């Protein structure tokens, strides 16, 4: 249910916005990698403007995701260490519980 609400309230309006942006920016725009000779055809690409806009959004999402991933690394490491510690403690025989179980068994047999 929540998935459908997110789809209707977020994804659909974003899709409409991106489609309108693409239709409004269909004109070709040159992109050159040579700042000293902008007319160099070997280093110039002409694509519709919306392609550049979409690529900028995608690149921003990738850079933001990578930055978030690296910033949260210490928390993932801490969670991994705690999970290993918990697993180690679960596998470790508990001396106190076996002594209590033995004394209960001895008390019950008398």
In the chain, which residue ranges form alpha helices assigned H by DSSP?
A: 2-6, 12-24, 49-71, 73-91, 95-109
Integer Cα distance of 91 and 88 in angstroms: 5
Contact assessment for residue 50 and residue 25, using Cβ atoms and an 8 Å cutoff? yes
Residue 21 has a CB neighbour count (10 Å cut-off) of: 14
pLDDT tens for residues 50-107? 899 899 999 999 999 999 999 999 999 999 999 999 999 999 877 655 555 565 566 6
Q: What is the pLDDT of residue 97?
A: 59
Contact assessment for residue 28 and residue 47, using Cβ atoms and an 8 Å cutoff? yes
Q: What is the pLDDT of residue 62?
A: 97
Question: Mapping DSSP to helix (H, G, I), strand (E, B) and coil, where does residue 28 land?
Answer: strand
36, pLDDT greater than 90: no
Q: What is the pLDDT of residue 7?
A: 79
Contact assessment for residue 80 and residue 72, using Cβ atoms and an 8 Å cutoff? no
Q: Which residue has the tokens 């004109």?
A: 27
């Amino acid at each position: 249910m929540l998935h459908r609400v997110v789809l209707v309230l977020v994804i659909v309006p974003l899709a409409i916005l991106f489609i309108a942006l693409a239709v409004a920016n269909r004109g070709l725009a040159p992109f050159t990698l040579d700042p000293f000779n902008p007319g160099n055809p070997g280093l110039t690409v002409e694509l519709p403007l919306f392609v550049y806009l979409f690529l900028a959004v995608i690149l921003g999402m990738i850079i933001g995701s990578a930055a978030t991933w690296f910033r949260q690394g210490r928390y993932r490491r801490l969670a991994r260490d705690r999970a290993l510690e918990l697993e180690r403690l679960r596998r470790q025989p508990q001396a106190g519980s076996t002594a209590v179980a033995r004394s209960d068994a001895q008390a019950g047999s008398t």
